[in-house]
Structure 1
Amino acid sequence: MDVVEWNEPYLETCCRSALHRLTLVGMVGRPAGLKDGPCLERLRGMGLAAQRPDGRYELTEEGVARHRSEILRRAG
């Protein structure tokens, strides 16, 4: 039996929700200062989101991949 090793940092439920919201807003981005601000900062620190010069957060390519592997996988 093959053992699959999980090597990605754990995302709390609130941060998974913030990651999903970033996919929903698309290019518009999420503004800073919202209730999920700490999660957006954590996602930024993990390289899953980036803060633009206008202060809004958007997904990085890594964030898109993590959303696909962690959020969409659970939905299916």
Structure 2
Amino acid sequence: MQAKWHEPYLETCCRSALHRLTLVGGPGRPDGLKDGPCLERLQALGLARRRPADGRFEITAEGEARHAREILKKAG
């Protein structure tokens, strides 16, 4: 029996945006960049959030787990 995929597919651009969120760390990603639509999609999926104080995007714990599994290819 094959394992089924239960997570929404991330386009290559959204995978890159997720990776950039891990690279930027605490400062977050500002709104208005080319990857804005991907950041919005990541937010809708619960993988990123927009900080109310400054409107910048940061990765969530779910986003970090997805990044580890899908981009870094770590089991978990």
CA deviation after TM superposition for structure 1 residue 35, in Å: 0.4
Q: Please name the residue that 1:21 is paired with.
A: 20
Q: Please name the residue that 1:62 is paired with.
A: 62
State the distance in 2 between where 1:3 and 1:41 align. Answer: 32
Q: Please name the residue that 2:29 is paired with.
A: 30
- Stretches of structure 1 that go unaligned for 5 or more consecutive residues are none
CA deviation after TM superposition for structure 1 residue 64, in Å: 0.3
- Stretches of structure 2 that go unaligned for 5 or more consecutive residues are none
| Percent of aligned pairs with the same amino acid | 71
Q: Please name the residue that 1:43 is paired with.
A: 42
CA deviation after TM superposition for structure 1 residue 3, in Å: 2.1
Q: Which secondary structure state, in structure 2, belongs to the residue aligned with residue 28 of structure 1?
A: coil
Runs of 4+ in structure 1 over 2 Å off: none
State the distance in 1 between where 2:65 and 2:4 align. Answer: 17
Q: Which amino acid aligns with 2:69?
A: S
RMSD: 1.2
TM value normalised by structure 1: 0.92
TM value normalised by structure 2: 0.92
Structure with the higher fraction of residues in helix conformation: 1
